[in-house]
Structure formats: C-alpha cells, structure tokens
Structure 1
Amino acid sequence: MRQSKQWAGWGAAGQQAQQHYLVEPRHLAGGGDLRHVTEYLRASGWKDRSKSGGPVVFDSPDKSVRIGYDPFTQPGGWTISGKKTAHQDAWHATFGRHTPVEIVAGLTDTLLTPRTAHAPNVWEPLLQQGWETERGQHFTARSPDGDAFVRFHQSDPGQTHWWVGARNEHGRVWEATFTPTTPMHLVQAFSTALADPEPVLRPLGHIPPSQRIRTTSVSVLPSQLGAWQQARITAARAATWTRNSFATQRSRTPPGTRPYAGQSGRVR
C-alpha cells in the first residue's frame, strides 16, 4: 500500500476528510457505487422503473433499451437488453456483480451518445494499453498483469461470441458476455473502459482482499465527492441537450438533403 496523501481538490474548510483508496488495476477494484451508472442515466432522461427493495431497472426514453441490476439472484449483476428495431437486431449483454461500475459505464454512457461513422475496433484500445493477443481456438487479448481477458469466437458465419472476465489469486472475480448481435461500438466502449489504466476510487471498507491490486490512500472531503459526482451529472445533461438539439435540427432538414448512411455506418 502506498503512502497516504491529501487529495488535492476543492472543498469547504472544516469538513471532515474521509479515507478512500485509489485502486489499480481497475478490473480488480470491485463493483463500486451503482450510482455512478444510474445517476448518469437519470440525468440523461432515462426512466427509473425500479421498485423499492427490488432490482434496479432503467428504460431508455424511446423504450428500446433496458438496463437492470439485480443483486438478489444468482449469479446476479447487470443485464442490458436492446429491442429489435428497423436497423438493429435484438441484443443482450450481462456483467457480473463485481464488474467495476466504471467499466460498465463505458458501455452505458455510450448508449447516450450518437454513433460515429467510424468502423468500431474492439482490440485497438486494448493493444494501445499493452494487452497481448493470442490466437488459438479463440482469439484472446490479455491484460499486462494476465488477470483480465477479452475473448472472441466465431462458431458459424454471423455467430460471433464475446466473453470478458477478470480473476485474482482467489479465482474468478467477474465475467461479461455479449450476444452476437450486440453493436460492436458498444463492445469497443466496454473494452476501452476495461483497458483504461487510470485507477478508480473506493471508500474504506470496500477494497477487495487481493494481493494483485495496488492502492493509494487518499483523504477526500465530502464536498469533493459531491463536486465530482455533479460534474458527471452535468456532463450527462450536456450530452442529452446536444443529442436532442441535433435530432431537432435534423428533423427540420428538408428531405433529399441529408447524407445517406449505409449499413456500414459510413456517410455516403
């Protein structure tokens, strides 16, 4: 464990600092605070369908995607499901309960932003962070510490399976799966968040019992935590405003003047 230090930031004088830890690698940091995901969805206009004492459930404004978190069943965890639309088959993704919320948010945040015309590449963010690839029965990328992996397998044409997971010295920590129809830009968003080398913040008492993690003790003021959370909510609202403004502007564009996006997603 590294030496404790005062976290540099803003906050009112006289507040009682609380002990937190910066944990790395993030894939072994534990689940974290669900509000990192849910408050972003709420600020983006998603409908909270959760019932008191029950699983967490959020529906997208157009009701095409549902995000849920269920800690009461086995194995439990996150489920994200997209309905079939005119341009997309139904799809489904699952993440174990101990999948860090910062990695889950990599995908869920991306649901709230317009899809770019660039072809997605799941492997690129992993390779940029030094993950090693191996080709066998499956195509696999492994983290530099060897404790996380992303695996791709194609059994038949159109039947591509993605399987992601992490383990420590005690065994499997979490797993994630994506159905073959999951949009690739969402899988790439997940792999980008997974490979991010930045540590994540966890409060005292929420550090996984593992020798595979590195921690830095920091003193955090309640006002600092509130400001960081508010910054994320503000970003969600700004993204929603931009998206809605773009949709309004596009609806006002006369027919025949809009660029055509083919199946590849590239504007022609």
Structure 2
Amino acid sequence: MKKKQWQGWGPDEQAEQHYLIQPRALAGGGDVRHVSEFLRASGWRDKSKTGGPLHMESPDRTVRIAYDPYVLPGGWTIHGRADGANGEWSAHLGQQTPVEIVAGLTDALTRPRSAHAPNVWAPLQEQRWHTRFEGQDYMATSPDCTAWVQYRQSPDGAAMWWTGAQDKQGNGWTANFTPNTPMHLVQAFSTELASPDPVMRPRGRVPMSTQIRTWSVSVKPSQLSAWQQARITAARAATWARNSARSTRPRTSARPYTPAGGTRTRR
C-alpha cells in the first residue's frame, strides 16, 4: 500500500485518512450526495421524504431517479417517460454501483445531447477492454476481468444492456438498461465504468477484496468540501448558461422608431 500526502494544508484542521481505489468498479457504493447534489444544482426537484429513500425529478418532469437502500436488493432506479423520439425506458443499478459510475449516466441527463451518434463500445475499447461475440450477444470485459458490458437480444428482437462488476469473493453489483434507454446515456455510463481513474473512499468504507489496489491519502475536511463544491458550482454554472440561452430570443425584425407624440417624420 502506497502512502501519499496532499500539500497546502492550513494549521487548524486535522487530516483524515482516505483511500484511493482501483479498479473503480469494485470500490463500493460511496456517498449518494455525489449524485443528488449535482442534480439539485442542475435544477432537479428533490421529492424525497425526510428519512426516506431519495427521489428526484427532472425540471421537465420526464425523468425520475430513486435510490432506495431500505429494500432488497435495493439500489438505483431511473425512469424516463416516453416522448416523440423514444419510448418509455428505465435503468436499474445495484446498491454497490459506485456513485461515480452512476453519475456518468445521471450527469448526462442534465446536459444537451451531442450531435454525434453515440457508441457504447468506444470508451471500453479505448481502455483496452476485450470485445467479442458470445452467441447472439456482444460482450466486453475489462482487462482484469472484473467488469463487463453485454448487449443481449431476445428471440423476439428485444434488446437489453446488462453490465456489472464482481470480484473473486462474489462481491459486486449488476445493472441493466431496458431497450429504449437512450444510447448516449448508456455510453456516458460505460465511459465512467471504463475510466482508469481511482475513486476515493473514507477509512472503514473500503471493500474487503483481493482484487482492488489501494493508496492511503490524508485529506482535510476543507479539501473534501472544496472538491464537492467545485462539482456543484459547475452544475449551477451550466444550468444558468442553458436557462439564459433559452430566455434570449433574437428579434426577427426591428421595430420602427416612433418619436414622442406618435408622429413619424420623413426626411
């Protein structure tokens, strides 16, 4: 286990021990606020009841996100209403899905779609995941074989995405996306799943797995707060920019100038 220390501390705070974890897919669930605070800063409505599961709704009320740890198997449910381009869709993500990977999908819900056609496999192949056909299904597995993405097609033609991660002890999670799930959302999820960047967990929240690598880091509470606030500030800035663009409408024609008294003069 390697030891790192962050620089630039002030004299009045005590550092706390955290751990950087790779691969991120086996890091455990993490702090749900990583997802919920970003959505709230992006203008989503928090419909949660005090002490109950998380329930959030998009500004246009077309998408709902819930996180319920109090039922079995528990986890995330994301539901989208049918619109002109897509049918009704949903995604179900296990309770131990790392919040950083969940945020790949939920953050994408707050942004305009790219004009480019989505490609779920591209971010996986960039990180050297092994892709192949398995019968009628198409499969990608991570280089260490702990995570996978599978495109399944049933005999009636219905397609589904199935993904997850598992270590040799059987710890992990699974997630699935129904056929109408917009592909740019699945791609955003696969991008975060394949990312080689470690994620951070506090002491006592590190999974007991022989297939993770950890680095001990000392972090001040103010540093954690600053990192979290930077993410929230970015969400607020993006929301403000989108709302400003919508409210600004260019004039198609200029109104003629009328002098006081209502009489126009010619020269």
Compute the TM-score of the two structures, normalised by the length of structure 2.
Answer: 0.90
Within 5 Å, give how 1:58-69 maps onto structure 2: 58-69=56-67
Give the residue type in structure 1 aligned to 2:247: T
For residue 145 of structure 2, what is the aligned residue in structure 1?
Answer: 146
Q: CA deviation at 1:156?
A: 5.4
For residue 122 of structure 1, what is the aligned residue in structure 2?
Answer: 120
Distance 1:87 1:156 in 2: 25
Decide whether aligned partners of structure 1 residues 82 and 192 sit closer, same or farther in structure 2, where only a CA change above 3 A counts: same
Distance 1:231 1:176 in 2: 29
Superposed CA RMSD in Å reads 1.4
For residue 235 of structure 1, what is the aligned residue in structure 2?
Answer: 234
Per-residue CA shift, 1:223-251, capped at 9, x if unaligned?
100100000000100111122223234x5
Q: CA deviation at 1:53?
A: 1.8
Per-residue CA shift, 1:73-112, capped at 9, x if unaligned?
1111000000112222111001000000000000000000
Give the residue type in structure 2 aligned to 1:90: E
Gap regions ≥5 residues in structure 2: 253-267
Compute the TM-score of the two structures, normalised by the length of structure 1.
Answer: 0.90
Q: From the CA coordinates, give the structure whose radius of gyration is larger.
A: 2
Gap regions ≥5 residues in structure 1: 255-268
Q: CA deviation at 1:253?
A: 7.2
Pick from 131, 134, 145: which aligns with 2:132?
A: 134
For residue 103 of structure 1, what is the aligned residue in structure 2?
Answer: 101
Within 5 Å, give how 1:70-89 maps onto structure 2: 70-89=68-87
1:12–1:223 contact (8 Å) kept in structure 2: no
For residue 163 of structure 1, what is the aligned residue in structure 2?
Answer: 162
**Deviant stretches of 4+, over 4 Å:** 251-254
Distance 2:195 2:242 in 1: 26
Distance 2:171 2:119 in 1: 26
SS in 2 for 1:238: helix
Q: Percent identity?
A: 59
Distance 1:209 1:195 in 2: 21
SS in 1 for 2:29: coil
Q: CA deviation at 1:158?
A: 5.8
SS in 1 for 2:154: strand
1:78–1:95 contact (8 Å) kept in structure 2: yes
Give the residue type in structure 2 aligned to 1:132: H
Give the residue type in structure 1 aligned to 2:47: R
For residue 94 of structure 1, what is the aligned residue in structure 2?
Answer: 92
Distance 2:200 2:216 in 1: 10
